[in-house]
Amino acid sequence: MVERRHWFSDMLPHLILTIGVGILAFPVWLAVVGSTWDAGTIANGTMPLYPGPYAVENYTRALGHGGRSSGEPVGMLMLNSFVMALAIALGKIAISMISAYAVVYFRFPFRMAAFWLIFITLMLPVEVRIYPTYQVVAQVGLLDTYAGLAVPLIASATATLLFRQFFMTIPPELVEASKIDGAGPLKFFKDTVLPLSITTMAALFVIQFIYGWNQYLWPLLITTRPDMQTIVVGIKKLLVTQDALTEWQIAMTTAVLAMLPPVLVVLVMQKLFVRGLVETEK
C-alpha cells in the first residue's frame, strides 16, 4: 500500500535528530570556541559563541608547555594516553580472542567452570577491585609504568563473550574441513578464525580504545610522576588550582585535543566497525 506522506511526517524525524545532535554537539562546540579565546574573556562570562583569535597561541602553549597547574605538555600526556589505550585495546583483543577460542573449540576439564569464571568478572570492573589490584601492581613494581597502566585493565569478559558468540556462528564443518585439510588448532586459528574475525576485532578495537583512553581513576591512582600522567587526569588537574585562576583557555584546548584521537580512531575504523557490529554473513 502506498501512503501519501504528509510534509510533517517527513520533517518530524529530522527535527528530532537535529535537536539530538544540537544537544550533543553544543558542549563540544563550546570547548572548541573556548580554546580560541583568552582566559579573561572566558572567565568573565562574556565569551561569544564564535571562534576568537587566540587559537594558535593556546594550542602551541598547551602542546608545548601545558597549563601552569599540571606543568606537563599536553603532547606528552597524549602520548601516555595513546600508549595506554592502544595497549589496553590490543591486549584485550588478543587475550579475549584466545580465551574464547579455548572455550569454544576445546573440550578440557572444567571448561564450563572456566567460562563462568570469565563471565563473573563482568561484575568486577577495576573500580570494584581497585585496592587489591593496586597492591599487586605496587608490589611487583609497576607503579609509574605503561605496563602498570594497561595490564590490570586488559582482562575482559565482555570481549571474550563477544568473540565466543562470534565463534559459535562459524559453521562446525569449517573446523572439520580444516582438520581434513591438515590444519591443526594453531593453523585453523591463524588461517580461518583470524581472517574471519577481522571486523569483530575492528569493532572491539574502537570500543576498547575509547574505553582505555577515557580511564581516569586507575591512572590517577598509580601514576605519581607527572610525566606518566594521562591526558584525562591532566584535564582534571587543570581545573583544580589552589593559588591561581583556572586557565580555562588551556583546559578547553586540552579537552579538544583529548577528543581528537578517539574521533580519529572512529573515523578510520568506521567502515569495519559498522560491519563488525551488524555482519552476519559467514
179 part of the interface to other proteins, by CB under 8 A: yes
227 part of the interface to other proteins, by CB under 8 A: no
Largest CA distance in the chain: 75
The secondary structure of residue 201, as a DSSP letter, is H
Contact map string, positions 189 to 218, toward other proteins, x by CB under 8 A:
--xx--xx----------------------
Nearer Cβ to other proteins (7/110)? 110
**Residue selected from 23, 171, 240, 278 as contacting other proteins according to rule CB under 8 A:** 171
174 part of the interface to other proteins, by CB under 8 A: yes
Among the candidate windows 38-46, 114-122, 176-184, 224-232, which touches other proteins by CB under 8 A? 176-184
176 part of the interface to other proteins, by CB under 8 A: yes
**Residue selected from 12, 17, 27, 181 as contacting other proteins according to rule CB under 8 A:** 181
Q: Which of 18, 52, 14, 60 is nearest to 33 (CA)?
A: 52
Q: How many residues bind other proteins (CB under 8 A)?
A: 17
Dig out the grid coordinates for 32 from the structure.
572548541
57 part of the interface to other proteins, by CB under 8 A: no
182 part of the interface to other proteins, by CB under 8 A: yes
280 part of the interface to other proteins, by CB under 8 A: no
Contacts of range 117-124, beta carbons closer than 8 Å, 24 or more positions apart = 118/157, 118/160, 118/161, 119/157, 119/161, 120/157, 121/155, 121/157, 122/157, 122/158
Nearer Cβ to other proteins (177/268)? 177
132 part of the interface to other proteins, by CB under 8 A: no
Report CA-CA distances (Å) from 222 to 4, 26, 135, 138: 63, 34, 10, 8
Q: Are 54 and 249 in contact (CB under 8 A)?
A: yes
Q: Which H helix or E strand runs over 187? A: helix 185-188
Q: Are 126 and 152 in contact (CB under 8 A)?
A: yes
Give the nearest distance from C-beta 198 to other proteins in angstroms: 8
The secondary structure of residue 66, as a DSSP letter, is -
Nearer Cβ to other proteins (82/189)? 189
The secondary structure of residue 4, as a DSSP letter, is P
Nearer Cβ to other proteins (60/169)? 169
Dig out the grid coordinates for 56 from the structure.
594558535
Nearer Cβ to other proteins (173/243)? 173
Positions touching other proteins (CB under 8 A) are 171, 173-174, 176-177, 179-183, 187, 191-192, 195-196, 281-282
